[in-house]
Amino acid sequence: MIRDFKQKLKDDFVAGIFSKTSDPAFIEIMGRGGFDFVIIDLEHGPNSVQTVQNLLCAAEVTGIFPIIRVKEDNSSLIGEVLDIGACGIQVPHINNADDAKEVVMLSRFAPLGMRGVCRFVRAADYSSMDRFSYFSEANEAVIVLQIEGPEGIENIDRVLEVEGADIIFIGPYDLSQSLGVPGEVDHPSVEKKMKEIIEKSVRGGVAVGTFVDTYENADKWRGLGVKYIAYSVDVGIFYDKCVEVVKRITGGGV
Ligand code: 3PY
Ligand code: MG
């Protein structure tokens, strides 16, 4: 599954969505709907390692690629979510090369890192998997680093030099706050910085991702070489649909 995802990312484009619900049905629906990946969010929202385990089972049922966004203070969380079967991790607020190196260290078994070893976990099929196959397959988990703050922007060149990151993800909302225009994700200064990060990452051979909540921005960033786009959040999409339905059935038009 991980190899196919990486290949599609390399050759083409992957379409995803954020999830902040705790109901596995939502994850199944996203898979049935055709999304390539889901980012299950532990940075914002009510989920915990315990609730996420069921969401990962639901992802497997429909073949949607599950990435878990951990919190900024992630030292124990990265190993925990990989142990329960996340195929990738996404880490917010990467500020410098040391942050990036630490993520790689916590995500990979030796010789690439020093992730804590346990083969009696869901990711190793509760010990039924050959231990050496598990260690080598686990070391292919997708690593996504979020650049969204002033230090991260400043240090992007050094971050790109760190071996092991698969995707540099630009968080436009935090980035807009960093640039003094909170929430204005279409502000020219935000757009300019995003374009700079995209150019540098593409030049450095690292795929770029971002978050969008309009189709226009999805088209714009895809056209500029962004290959991993998370379109909005399950709860937001559901809310928008509710508003539309209520307007329609009460005669208010759409
Ligand atoms: C941001 O826009 O800051 C994000 O982290 C998107 O998820
Ligand atoms: Mg953010």
Query: Cα of 228 to ligand 1 centre, how many Å?
Result: 13
Closest ligand to Cα 171:
1
pLDDT score at 143: 98
Query: Cα of 174 to ligand 2 centre, how many Å?
Result: 5
Burial 34-46 (b: 16+ CB within 10 A, else e): ebbbbbbbbbebe
Confidence check: pLDDT of 145 > 90: yes
210 burial type by CB count under 10 A (0-12 exposed, 13-18 middle, 19+ buried) = buried
Relative to the CA of 18, which ligand 1 atom is closest? 7
**How many Å apart are CA 9 and CA 234, to the nearest integer?**
22
Question: Are residues 123 and 84 in contact, defined by beta-carbon separation less than 8 angstroms?
Answer: yes
What is the residue with the minimal CA distance to atom 4 of ligand 1? 171
Mutate to test the pocket of ligand 1, among 174, 194, 208 (most ligand atoms within 8 A of CB): 174
pLDDT digits (tens, 9 = 90+) for 63-80: 999 999 999 877 899 999
Q: CA dist 10 to 7, 147, 171, Å? A: 5, 20, 21
Relative to the CA of 211, which ligand 1 atom is closest? 6
Q: Where are the domains of the chain?
A: 2-249
Relative to the CA of 172, which ligand 1 atom is closest? 2
pLDDT score at 16: 98
For ligand 2, a single-atom ion, the residues with CB < 5 A are 148, 171, 174
Query: Cα of 131 to ligand 2 centre, how many Å?
Result: 36
User: For ligand 1, is residue 174 a contact (CB within 6 Å)?
Assistant: yes
Check residue 121 and report its DSSP letter.
S
**How many Å apart are CA 46 and CA 55, to the nearest integer?**
13
2 burial type by CB count under 10 A (0-12 exposed, 13-18 middle, 19+ buried) = middle
Q: Under CATH, domain 2-249 is a member of which superfamily?
A: Phosphoenolpyruvate-binding domains (3.20.20.60)
Confidence check: pLDDT of 252 > 90: no
User: For ligand 1, is residue 211 a contact (CB within 6 Å)?
Assistant: yes
Q: Who's near 247: CB < 8 A, 6+ residues apart?
A: 253, 254
pLDDT digits (tens, 9 = 90+) for 224-251: 999 999 999 999 999 999 999 999 999 8
- What are the residue numbers of the active site? 44
Query: Cα of 248 to ligand 1 centre, how many Å?
Result: 31
pTM of the entire structure? Answer: 0.95
User: For ligand 1, is residue 31 a contact (CB within 6 Å)?
Assistant: no
Distance separating the N- and C-terminal Cα atoms of the chain: 40
pLDDT digits (tens, 9 = 90+) for 155-208: 999 999 999 999 999 999 999 999 999 999 999 999 999 999 999 999 999 999
Q: What string of DSSP letters covers 175-219?
A: HHHHTT-TT-TT-HHHHHHHHHHHHHHHHTT-EEEEEESSHHHHH
Question: Are residues 94 and 100 in contact, defined by beta-carbon separation less than 8 angstroms?
Answer: yes
